[in-house]
């Protein structure tokens, strides 16, 4: 696995873009895409500043009955081979988890470590075409052509803004992607991010989360939620949500979760055995929030989802895994009720 990691970093550096249209630490607007049944294709849409749906048609439905958000976040390891054979079962698992939710719950899916191949797989998946708008069809919004984040947004939701902020403090081409939605007339900002990996000095996760918190506390919002692979592996990561005046709530802790328990861990159980024995398990994947939303539940998902294909499974097992898992991370699902109040000082 050390050789695979080294090769992945080499490829990422080789695919790093030397000319980009954005400035680091500043918002760069981004379109999103709606699938047209008549055209059988994805059409770019510009978010509406009024918050109204940009595409009024058969796919749009009255979102007045939506009162809660189910947020799913999952890192699908980009370093392993067989991207399509791993992403397809991952998406099938997400479909199983989301298609039985009540109509009053809107679904949003955050994915990290996606490759260009993954974006094609996502875009060609029928249930996603039917139920979601997506934010990326290619890697044009990423700092590298190798991997990045993408977001799937319930097609019933109004999108008033979408923008990506590329971190100035990053060695690994990381960014934060924001989308503003409306639920019961409330403006809610969602942020999908993959914070800096590893225990390097200086620790860039600190300025990265400080930047995110600044956008979450925008006074024009009613609430904000950020989630993703936070790579929380050092002592300071435990209080990152409150340090530096970030003033955010950790959904896991708010629901009574305890650090250093089996229920907390999202990475390690499905890692290469040698890495688990070396580093143990950790709560890398988290959900933070502020403002007028109440976290109702938080649970992990994605355990024992396996790659498609016998040959593919044999190769992955040969890398040192106990099972041919699609990724080394468990996903996290957080459900929020949208409230008519905003706590004083939260935004």
For residue 195, tell me if it sits in a domain: yes
- Give the integer Cα–Cα distance in Å for 227 and 188: 14
Model confidence pLDDT, tens digit, residues 137-170? 999 999 999 999 999 999 999 999 999 999 999 9
For residue 39, tell me if it sits in a domain: no
pLDDT band at 11 (very low <50, low <70, confident <90, very high): confident
What residue ranges in 230-324 does DSSP mark as E strands?
A: 249-250, 285-291, 293-301
- Give the integer Cα–Cα distance in Å for 247 and 347: 9
Residue 140's CATH number: 3.60.10.10
Domain span including residue 196: 2-8+66-338
Model confidence pLDDT, tens digit, residues 165-197? 999 999 999 999 999 999 999 999 999 999 999
For residue 55, tell me if it sits in a domain: no
Model confidence pLDDT, tens digit, residues 216-251? 999 999 999 999 999 999 999 999 999 999 999 999
User: Into how many domains does the chain fold?
Assistant: 1
pLDDT given for residue 278 in this prediction: 95
- Give the integer Cα–Cα distance in Å for 221 and 219: 5
List 225's β-bridge partners, or say none. 190, 289
Say if residues 44 and 33 touch (Cβ distance below 8 Å): yes
Say if residues 87 and 76 touch (Cβ distance below 8 Å): yes
């Amino acid at each position: 696995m050390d050789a695979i990691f080294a090769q992945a970093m080499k490829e990422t550096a080789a695919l790093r873009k030397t000319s980009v249209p954005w400035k680091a630490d500043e918002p760069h607007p981004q379109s999103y895409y709606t699938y047209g049944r008549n055209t059988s294709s994805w059409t770019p849409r510009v978010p509406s500043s009024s918050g109204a749906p940009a595409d009024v048609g058969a796919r749009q439905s009255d979102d007045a009955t939506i009162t809660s958000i189910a947020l799913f976040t999952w890192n699908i390891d980009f370093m392993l081979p067989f991207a399509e054979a791993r992403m397809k079962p991952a998406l099938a698992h997400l479909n199983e988890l989301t298609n039985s939710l009540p109509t009053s719950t809107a679904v949003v899916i955050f994915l990290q470590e996606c490759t260009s191949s993954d974006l094609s797989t996502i875009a060609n998946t029928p249930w996603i075409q039917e139920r979601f708008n997506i934010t990326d069809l290619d890697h044009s919004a990423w700092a590298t052509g190798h991997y990045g984040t993408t977001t799937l947004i319930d097609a019933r939701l109004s999108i008033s803004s979408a923008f990506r902020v590329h971190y100035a403090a990053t060695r690994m081409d990381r960014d934060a992607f924001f989308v503003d939605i409306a639920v019961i007339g409330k403006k809610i900002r969602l942020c999908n991010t993959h914070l800096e990996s590893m225990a390097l000095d200086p620790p860039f996760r600190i300025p990265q989360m400080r930047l995110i918190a600044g956008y979450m506390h925008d006074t024009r919002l009613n609430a904000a939620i950020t989630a993703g692979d936070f790579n929380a592996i050092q002592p300071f990561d435990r209080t990152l949500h409150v340090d530096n005046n970030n003033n955010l709530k950790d959904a896991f802790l708010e629901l009574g979760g305890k650090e250093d328990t089996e229920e907390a861990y999202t990475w390690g159980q499905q890692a290469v055995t040698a890495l688990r024995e070396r580093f143990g398990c950790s709560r890398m994947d988290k959900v933070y929030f502020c403002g007028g939303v109440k976290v109702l539940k938080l649970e992990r998902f994605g355990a024992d989802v396996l790659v498609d294909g016998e040959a593919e499974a044999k190769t992955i097992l040969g890398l040192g895994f106990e099972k041919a898992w699609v990724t080394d991370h468990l996903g996290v699902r957080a459900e929020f009720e949208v409230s008519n109040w905003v706590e004083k000082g939260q935004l």
